Structure 1
């Protein structure tokens, strides 16, 4: 497939003052930038099957906006000197109409070059993912999707890790037509083979994502209490059984080691008293630096929750939430 670069993105609809439900309905007409990484199996947040169900309207889509985009964009403009602006428009690729784009911001350099500005916020502990000029891959895919729709050659992905512009990075992404061609092919395959004919894609990806997807969608079905599984799956269940047994042994050993460690360092905790650090220079000159710092965590114990439930049931019901988890167990019976 050769890419025709002689095109201008279609303005599908103005999103100025658009209600969220209306916006979601339009998004179900195609694949957006937030969907792109999931469609090709590279999103840390959702699977391709999640995107499929969202397009069918089975589950409200998460806009996943932090409300800090304006601040991120303002810091970017200050650091680069680029002119920035927003366009409250949902764009559509004129040649591949299943590709949609809601762009955070656009920028223009001093020489008139126009590009995409994608604004992100993240926890400071994730800053390492941006080291050495890197961009988290799912964000890169999102920017490349937008560049394809808008037919632009440059994007910047900017991220704020706190409330200070010192905790701020921005990375340039140049258009890669080979990558773009492959991305379009995969998105087209997803749209034409699954979404349009209403065929569920196979569930694959990271285990936690898969289980979360099952919890969100499949567990809504009314299944009998017990399902008879074909005998061909016995080998797979045997593997799970063995791995869980191995993990149980490791966990048991880990707990025993943890107790031995605590017993061993109790004497040093006594030596430190109220101090938080210690230093030991061994006979061979090796230095051992010890830290024993108090860590505080604010929370409500189960006992206090029960007291709240008894003493102020209305307050308890206002803030209490119910979650459901399943524990997968395999019991082997040899006959």
Structure 2
């Protein structure tokens, strides 16, 4: 069994203030991912001690003056890349579309390490994880936005209503889903939500991402869900976001834009629409549950037994971890739990 003491000591060494009071598991998750991000950055802010041997080497290469100079006007050494793909890192794709003239802003990409899903303010009956994901990518109306299309040759600039469309641009290897169970009352008090959310052992993300596909209707824009919708740049210049993806080799085969739905051919690019068959399916790896109220409580974790993580087993085993106590449990115990965080691994 691994002890978290060394992990906490490493975080404190990196100047994270972690007291002995109760902490939130989702906040700790982002502390870990941010720290890993800083330690594995391609161009670190501060030279790492791992680079000491490289700097002491008399044969070290230096960058040319036109690329970089230090504050003392000296040449900077070329250090080895310490880049590492973060397993929880994905991309969200969003686009704004004018409801008056149909002008669309370039697609914007934002990185994420977890998806935080809000429970509906009003009870909507039985809640499922798929339904909450659908709400997450639903369209949003935004008012008083300056529209380039409506403002052509006009002064002052015209402000109109836009529709903001969101979908998942790139799926991570490991998908972390956070169910926000804290809500605020009208009097400013916090309250914990105990809503039951049904989640599957196998999660299919096909309906929540965009894919490259040639569809007849090219006017509907970029959306999630099951509809056959498409976004294309054929009649306008490519956006900086698309160029960025091409530069990162996320979408090296796209010529006319990003589209929705899965292609009929196989490819090996990292972007969703070029993923091989089955690459959008995830298998439940662990579930984190919070016991208690909004002020105090205890976290427990359901996780797969290490013997069943790699490969397929006829008798899959689950474990319930509570501090140093680890006991066997059933899959029914896991699926009926009041999930706070869900962690899925790509199949």
TM over 0.5: no
Larger radius of gyration: 1
Q: Which has the higher helix share?
A: 1
Shorter-normalised TM-score: what interval?
under 0.3
- TM-score of the superposition, structure 1-length normalised? 0.21
